Amino acid sequence: MSLFRTEGFQVVVDLELRLIKEFRELIAEDKNRDKKNALMWFAYIYHMHDYKSPYQLYEESDRHMRVVRDLTMPADFKLSKRMTAAVEKYNELQTTPAVKTLQTTKHALNSAEKAIGALTRKIELLLSEADDEEKDTVGVAVKNVTKLLELAERLPKMTEVINGLEDRVKKEQSGESKLRGGGTKGMFED
């Protein structure tokens, strides 16, 4: 199900969204006639929680900061109860086994990247403290370099897996809604 999509660098909301209670209540929470706040909240939900969002590269706290800043929302922005309910509903609706696998694999790739950074810092620290006579320190540094190289060798394979998963998710989502003649199936149609 695709409730949000991007067009021209803007998040576009599907009209079916109003049929779902949590989203309808979030729209109602915005008292402005033009519903600019509701659109901003939906953009926040998309960029924070959709696997296609370019912000998915960042950890959740860093992602929140970046999304709030880039959407020019107040720096002290916090989710209301209705927005929290809408986020939970959005996560429920978009989570398929393929999407969940993709998200888990991306998280593992981020963890591997952090491990490489930590190993690199540890190696640099060991080598900066090592004297010519301290063979133990150099030996530990060499073992860490070996671990680092093994990890670096696995990363391209992991990236290929992620690309394959992304393709599978795209096919899964596009296959659900396409009809003969180029139309799309509505949310409640079988």
Give the pLDDT confidence of 50-99 residue by residue, as tens digits: 878 888 878 888 999 999 999 999 999 999 999 999 999 988 888 778 77
User: 183 or 64, which is more confident?
Assistant: 64
Residue 64: the pLDDT is 94
Dihedral pair phi/psi, residue 5, rounded to 5°? -145, 165
- For the ranges 6-10, 60-64, 97-101, 117-121, the maximum mean pLDDT occurs at 60-64
User: 83 or 186, which is more confident?
Assistant: 83
Task: Return the closest-CA partner of residue 105 out of 169, 45, 149.
Answer: 169
Which long-range contacts does 176-184 make (Cβ < 8 Å, 24+ apart)? 176/1, 177/2
Q: pLDDT tens digits, residue range 136-177?
A: 776 777 787 888 888 778 778 877 887 787 777 777 766 654
Question: What's the half-sphere exposure (Cβ side, CA atoms, 13 Å) at 66?
Answer: 13
User: 132 or 92, which is more confident?
Assistant: 92
Q: pTM above the 0.75 mark? A: no
Which long-range contacts does 45-48 make (Cβ < 8 Å, 24+ apart)? 45/4, 45/83, 45/86, 45/87, 45/90, 46/4, 46/6, 46/11, 47/11, 47/71, 48/87
Residue 187: the pLDDT is 52
Residue found by looking up tokens 């924070």 in the block = 48
Band the pLDDT of 185: cuts 50, 70, 90. low
Residue 132 has pLDDT above 60, yes or no: no
User: 8 or 49, which is more confident?
Assistant: 49
Residue 84: the pLDDT is 94
Band the pLDDT of 110: cuts 50, 70, 90. confident
* Contact indicator for 179, 185 with CB cutoff of 8 Å: yes
Strand blocks (E) in the chain:
4-7, 10-13
Q: pLDDT tens digits, residue range 26-48?
A: 889 989 888 888 889 989 998 99
Residue found by looking up tokens 């149609």 in the block = 189
Dihedral pair phi/psi, residue 58, rounded to 5°? -100, 155
Residue 38: the pLDDT is 87
Question: What's the half-sphere exposure (Cβ side, CA atoms, 13 Å) at 184?
Answer: 9
∠ Cα 35 39 40 (to 5°): 115
Q: Are strands 10-13 and 4-7 parallel, antiparallel or unpaired?
A: antiparallel
Per DSSP, 12 falls in state E
